[in-house]
Homo-oligomer: A and B are copies of this chain.
Amino acid sequence: MLIDGFESSRLDADDRGLAYGDGLFETLALSEGRVLALDRHLERLARGAERLGLAPPPDPVLREEIDSVCRGHTRGVLKIILTRGSGGRGYRWPNVQRERRIVSLYEWPRALDAPPQRGAFLCRHPLSINPAIAGIKHLNRLDQVLASRAWPQGDYVEGLMLDGDGHVIEGTRSNLFLVLGRRLITPCLERAGVAGIVRAAVIERAARLRLEVIVKSVLVEDLLVADELFVTNSIIGVHSIDRLDADRPMIYRAHAVAEELVQLLRHDELIP
C-alpha cells in the first residue's frame, strides 16, 4: 500500500475521508499482469475530483504508483482512494487543501474462482436520493454497507438496490442491465447510484453487437419481463443472473447477450 507515494499502512486519523467520506475511490482489476481500463478509471477519478473540488493526483505520478504496487503480481484488485487530506474538525475545508492518495492491491476474491454465483435478491435498505452527487464514486457508501448486511445464505452474487421511491437503481457493487430481445435497458442514475466503468463500456459498445441501449427508470415489474439480467463491474465484468428472489421469484434461462458482451469486452481488455 502506498500513501502519497510512501509505503505505509497507516494514515493520519484527521483525514477528511474518515471524518466525512470526503473523497473518491476506484476499484480496478489487475488481470494477467495488466490493469484493465486504467485510462477510463483515471478519467472518472478526475471527473469526480472536479465535482468535489479536489485536485486529482498528477497522472504520471499515479501511474507510477500503480505500477509499483502491482509489480510482481499478475492478478489482484487495485484500489485507489483520493481524499481531501487532513483537515481538522468542521465541514468547511481548509484554505490550503492537500489531497491524499492511497494506492493498494488486494488479493483476487476467491469466490470468483469458484463456480460462478448467479442468484440475486432485492435489498431492503434503500439507496439515498441526491441528484447533486448521483453517479459519483465517492466515499459515502453506508447505503451499500447496510444493504449488504442482510445477505442471504446461498448462491447469491448480488443484491439489487431500489431508491426510496421504488426505482431499481443498481447492485450493491455493480450496475444492472435488463435484456429484452436485442434491447439493453439500464437504470437511469440521475438521482442515485454509481456510474460504473463497465456500464459505460457496455453502453458505448453495444451497437457493435447490434444491441440498442435504453437508459430509463426501472421498476421491479420491469425485471419480471426481462429475457436476461446481468450485472457489471470492473472485477466481475459482465455477470449473468439466473434467478431473482422477489415477491414473484424469477428464473432467467437466457444468458446469450451477456455472453456476447463478455466476449467483446474481454477482447478489448476492458474486463477480466
* Residues of A bordering B, CB below 8 Å: 1, 3, 8-22, 25, 27, 52-53, 77, 79, 81, 83-84, 88-93, 102, 104, 106, 109, 125-133, 138-149, 151, 164, 172-173, 191
B130 pairs with A19, CB closer than 8 A: no
Known: A131-B126, A140-B21, A164-B129. A145 touches B13 (CB 8 A): no
Other-chain residue from B14, B132, B145 in contact with A93 (beta carbon distance below 8 A): B145
Other-chain residue from B8, B14, B77, B148 in contact with A89 (beta carbon distance below 8 A): B77
A90 shortest CB reach to chain B, Å: 8
Other-chain residue from B10, B133, B151 in contact with A12 (beta carbon distance below 8 A): B10
Known: A128-B128, A130-B129. A13 touches B9 (CB 8 A): yes
Known: A106-B89, A148-B91. A21 touches B126 (CB 8 A): no
A sample of 24 cross-chain residue pairs with beta-carbon separation below 8 angstroms, ordered by A number, consists of A9-B12, A10-B10, A10-B11, A13-B102, A17-B18, A18-B18, A19-B25, A84-B145, A90-B109, A91-B144, A91-B173, A92-B149, A93-B145, A93-B148, A128-B128, A129-B129, A129-B164, A130-B143, A130-B164, A132-B143, A133-B146, A138-B142, A140-B140, A140-B141
Q: Which residue on chain B has the smallest CB distance to residue A24?
A: B142
Known: A14-B9, A148-B91. A20 touches B129 (CB 8 A): no
Known: A133-B143, A139-B20. A91 touches B11 (CB 8 A): no
Q: Which residues of B lie under 8 Å from residue A8 when comparing CB positions? A: 13
Other-chain residue from B18, B91, B173 in contact with A139 (beta carbon distance below 8 A): B18
B18 pairs with A15, CB closer than 8 A: yes
A197 shortest CB reach to chain B, Å: 17
Q: Which residues of B lie under 8 Å from residue A25 when comparing CB positions? A: 19
Known: A126-B131, A131-B126, A164-B130. A145 touches B11 (CB 8 A): no
A7 shortest CB reach to chain B, Å: 11
Q: Which residue on chain B has the smallest CB distance to residue A1?
A: B13
A151–B84 CA distance with the chains assembled, in angstroms? 18
Other-chain residue from B109, B127, B141 in contact with A22 (beta carbon distance below 8 A): B141
A26–B27 CA distance with the chains assembled, in angstroms? 31
B20 pairs with A141, CB closer than 8 A: yes
A88 shortest CB reach to chain B, Å: 7
Q: Which residues of B lie under 8 Å from residue A22 when comparing CB positions? A: 141-142, 145
Q: Which residue on chain B has the smallest CB distance to residue A21?
A: B21
A102–B12 CA distance with the chains assembled, in angstroms? 12
